[in-house]
Amino acid sequence: MQLPPRFVERIREQLGAEEAERLCEALEGEQPTSVRLHPLRGALSGWSEAEPIPWSEAGRYLTARPSFTLDPAFHGGAYYVQEASSQFVGRLLPADCTGMRILDLCAAPGGKTTLYASRVGAAGLVVANEIDRKRVQVLADNVRKWGLGNVAVTCGDAAMAARMEGWYDVVAVDAPCSGEGMFRKDDEARGEWSEQHVRLCAERQDAILEDAWRALRAGGTLIYNTCTFNREEDEGTLERFLEQFSEEVEAADEVAVEPACGIVTGRVGAFQTFRFMPHRAKGEGFFAAVARKSEEAAKGRLPKAKRSIIGAVDKVGATELKRWLQEPERMQLGMAGETCYAWYKEQAEAVKRLSEQVSVIYSGVAMGQLFKGKLKPDQALAHFVGLNREAVSVAALSREEALGYLRRQEVAVERFSEGMNLVVCEELPLGFAKRIGARVNNLYPNVLRILKND
């Protein structure tokens, strides 16, 4: 599908004829494939020569796009398939963000969420909010697979997320946009583009930014990004925001960018801006900006506490759950419904407070359900980086066997010990299976199974 003619006209008006021609040529070219490696899963064999993404420490360009669906390492959470330009948001976080509380608005499918979670560490908390109920399930699945245990996934609009006024150290707005930066890889984005759609997106962005500002604490950092080129949704959104809040906005610490990266930097008032264009930088179209909320800005008010939906675990159950954790002394245990959860103690009270005010669909690590004092482990526990592998037998499968397991096919009983087994491939966790005599129950979730054959 050709580029929308009016889009081409607008780009010429915005960039000039020569620059616009180079951009449009790049949008018809080949898209680079990029991933971001998990910080705690270990090196992947055969990836040592992958080209680093200069603005992302864990980012890598791949020479060819493999079938991720048929790669057990992908299902084991060894890496996240994330577009290179979008990984730049990690550079916009405060230099030392360990232990911080981050709100990731419009978070699905989870690329930036898992990046932020990797940066704040076990003592931090990322609240990943998504309004779409289908997309939020994908977000939760990716959070479980990343397995850091420091994310709460919420479902609602930005106004709901902003009920926790002045609560976050960082608020990151991945704004829904007209998607011009995706034209190279997405014909649907080309077909949906119109000037009316651009205006609707800009109006929505204005409202989301206002809610984001309420949620941010005084002295906190605001990150704004889109995957579009047009000024109305990028610099224009920031200008409209500053018309209302300029007295509360100040510059964040300067983010240095190497000229060789091809990133175009600029300023909109206190905001430092960064524009990625595929004929200059090796990535898709992307725009990002960062500023800080002044210490003198009005302090937010948290809503009154409500009855908690999180219950206690009895002593016998707690003993069983702690057996499955590498560092049980760092974790707070609890129950939501019939499922047992664990949260890092540094943020356990924050998750409890959050769950009293907004719709939390997943948080911490779901450990599973207790039956007669024994844990039936949840899929999320297999991926948790804090799982104690001494608590369960480990069944190591070959890549071919692992694909059979991930398709929920029968697996060779000889690989498994009697009882519950953690299934791994090249040390990467895939899920659980239970051997009962000469039979193995494949416990990999049916909704996650591989349907593709080749």
Tell me, what CATH number does 222's domain have?
3.40.50.150
Domain end among 238, 261, 293? 293
Are 270 and 330 in the same domain? no
For residue 103, being part of any structural domain is answered with: no
In this structure, the chain runs to a length of: 454
Domain end among 259, 293, 327? 293
- For residue 408, give the DSSP letter: T
Are 375 and 405 in the same domain? no
Q: What does the pLDDT read at residue 185?
A: 80
The rounded distance, in Å, linking the Cα atoms of 112 and 6 is: 31
CATH number of the domain residue 434 falls in? 3.10.450.720
For residue 298, being part of any structural domain is answered with: no
The rounded distance, in Å, linking the Cα atoms of 227 and 229 is: 7
Task: State phi, psi for 60 to the nearest 5 degrees.
Answer: -140, 140
Q: What does the pLDDT read at residue 269?
A: 97
Are 316 and 189 in the same domain? no
Are 403 and 330 in the same domain? no
Are 63 and 210 in the same domain? yes
Is 368 in contact with 377 (CB distance < 8 Å)?
yes
The rounded distance, in Å, linking the Cα atoms of 34 and 68 is: 12
Q: What does the pLDDT read at residue 454?
A: 65
Are 261 and 283 in the same domain? yes
C-beta neighbour count of 7 within 10 angstroms = 21
Are 193 and 79 in the same domain? yes
Q: What is the DSSP string of 38-67?
A: -TTS-PPTT-TTSEEETTEEEEEEESS---
Task: State phi, psi for 166 to the nearest 5 degrees.
Answer: 60, 30
Domain of residue 338 covers 303-382
Are 336 and 214 in the same domain? no
Nearest CA to 312 among 342, 335, 343, 330?
335
Are 311 and 254 in the same domain? no
Domain end among 382, 407, 426? 382
The rounded distance, in Å, linking the Cα atoms of 72 and 129 is: 28
Nearest CA to 36 among 121, 105, 111?
111
Are 281 and 337 in the same domain? no
Whether the model clears a pTM of 0.75, i.e. scores above it, the answer is: yes
What is the total count of domains within the chain? 3
For 196-212, letters b (16+ CB in 10 Å) and e give: eebeebbebbbebbbbb
Give burial (CB, 10 Å; 0-12/13-18/19+) of 316: exposed
Report the largest interatomic distance among the alpha carbons of the chain, rounded to a whole angstrom: 72
For residue 134, being part of any structural domain is answered with: no
Are 182 and 260 in the same domain? yes
Are 419 and 374 in the same domain? no
For residue 148, being part of any structural domain is answered with: no
* Residue 420 CA: distances (Å) to CA of 247, 381, 404, 440, 446: 59, 13, 18, 10, 18
How high is the mean pLDDT in each 10-residue block of the chain (454 residues)?
91 94 93 94 78 96 92 96 97 96 97 98 97 96 98 96 95 94 86 91 95 97 96 96 97 96 97 97 97 91 84 95 98 96 97 94 97 95 98 96 95 94 97 96 96 76
For residue 188, being part of any structural domain is answered with: yes
Q: What does the pLDDT read at residue 206?
A: 96
The rounded distance, in Å, linking the Cα atoms of 429 and 395 is: 10
For residue 155, being part of any structural domain is answered with: no
Can you state the percent helix, strand and coil of the chain, rounding each to 5? 35, 30, 35
For residue 338, being part of any structural domain is answered with: yes
Residue type, 209: L
For residue 114, being part of any structural domain is answered with: no
